[in-house]
């Protein structure tokens, strides 16, 4: 007998949502980039602002507020919010740790990184918020730093690369303690150079670029 599988979509509601005066001004500025009859094109900008203001996630109220701002049917904005994985439809921790699980990172041990991150966060499962509200850990697809696999991204910006379970834990421990932590390779290599340092084009370091070379 086959079992009918159903999916549910039900982002939590909050006590309403309105842009802060500052974000309202930003939203209005974004909207001027689009013609009067193409205001819906600003939807990603406004959703992003709403998510930022709402502590890193989009409630149904926030999504529907954006729909009203752009004179769009709420379902159309819900469709956009559910399509892009960068929009979070549940509360997240202050630091959202996004562990890449795609091929290069997986081959270089992303499963162990995820496990270490969950343990350090103190959460039982992906997507849960830690009791102190500091972390949630999720797995994501390739973040474009395959040369420095395995890696994770924290919030919107910082990449931490060349991770081991130990260095992943160390990064998170520093974040939790409010200490400064340097993004980039955690193994000490420069960019994506070989671990032992540069091996090609070594002469460039000794010979200055020819005059007039504006490249
Ligand atoms: S596979 Fe992880 S960054 Fe590309």
The better pLDDT of the pair 167, 12 is held by 167
| Domains (range + CATH), the chain | 21-83 (1.10.10), 95-185 (3.40.30.10)
Nearest to 50, CA basis, from 26, 84, 31: 26
Q: What is the pLDDT of residue 211?
A: 64
Atom nearest to 143 CA in ligand 1: 3
**Mean per-residue pLDDT for 54-63?**
94
Mean pLDDT score of the chain: 91
Nearest to 186, CA basis, from 113, 115, 137, 126: 113
The better pLDDT of the pair 213, 69 is held by 69
Q: What is the pLDDT of residue 157?
A: 87
* Residue 136 tokens, joined: 């949630």
Atom nearest to 101 CA in ligand 1: 2
Q: What is the pLDDT of residue 201?
A: 81
Q: 61 with 38: CB under 8 angstroms?
A: no
Cα angle for residues 55, 61, 65 (degrees, 5° grid): 100
Q: Is the pLDDT of residue 196 over 90?
A: no
Q: Is the pLDDT of residue 68 over 90?
A: yes
Rounded Cα distance, 42 and 30, in Å: 7
Give the pTM.
0.84
Q: 159 with 171: CB under 8 angstroms?
A: no
Atom nearest to 142 CA in ligand 1: 4
Residues within a 6 A CB radius of ligand 1: 100, 102-105, 142-146, 149, 151
Q: Is the pLDDT of residue 181 over 50?
A: yes
Name the DSSP letter for residue 18. Answer: -
The better pLDDT of the pair 176, 212 is held by 176
Give me ligand 1 centre to Cα 148, in Å: 8
Q: Is the pLDDT of residue 115 over 90?
A: yes
**Mean per-residue pLDDT for 134-156?**
96
Q: What are phi and psi of 12, to 5 degrees?
A: -60, 155
Nearest to 116, CA basis, from 150, 85, 155: 150
The torsion defined by the Cα of 47, 52, 57 and 101, in degrees rounded to 10, comes to 100
**Mean per-residue pLDDT for 186-215?**
76
Give me ligand 1 centre to Cα 207, in Å: 35
pLDDT tens track for 23-52:
999 999 999 999 999 999 999 999 999 999
Q: Could you tell me the CA-to-CA distances from 165 to 37, 116, 120, 143, 206 in Å, in that order? A: 51, 5, 10, 19, 38
């Amino acid at each position: 007998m086959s079992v009918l599988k159903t999916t549910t979509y039900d982002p939590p509601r909050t006590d309403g949502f309105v842009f802060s005066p500052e974000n309202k001004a930003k939203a209005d500025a974004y909207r001027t980039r689009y013609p009067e009859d193409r205001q819906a094109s600003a939807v990603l900008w406004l959703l992003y602002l709403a998510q930022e203001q709402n502590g890193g996630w989009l409630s149904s109220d926030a999504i529907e507020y954006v729909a009203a701002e752009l004179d769009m049917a709420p379902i159309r904005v819900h469709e956009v919010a559910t399509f892009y994985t960068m929009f979070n439809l549940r509360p997240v921790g202050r630091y959202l740790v996004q562990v890449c699980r795609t091929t290069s990172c997986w081959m270089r041990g992303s499963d162990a990184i995820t496990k270490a991150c969950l343990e350090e966060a103190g959460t039982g499962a992906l997507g849960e918020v830690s009791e102190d509200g500091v972390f949630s850990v999720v797995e994501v697809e390739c973040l474009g730093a395959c040369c420095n696999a395995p890696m994770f991204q924290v919030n919107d910006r910082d990449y931490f690369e060349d991770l081991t379970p130990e260095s992943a834990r160390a990064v998170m421990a520093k974040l939790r303690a409010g200490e400064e932590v340097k993004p980039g390779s955690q193994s000490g290599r420069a960019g994506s150079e070989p671990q032992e340092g540069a091996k090609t084009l070594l002469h460039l370091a000794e010979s200055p670029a020819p005059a007039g070379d504006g490249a």
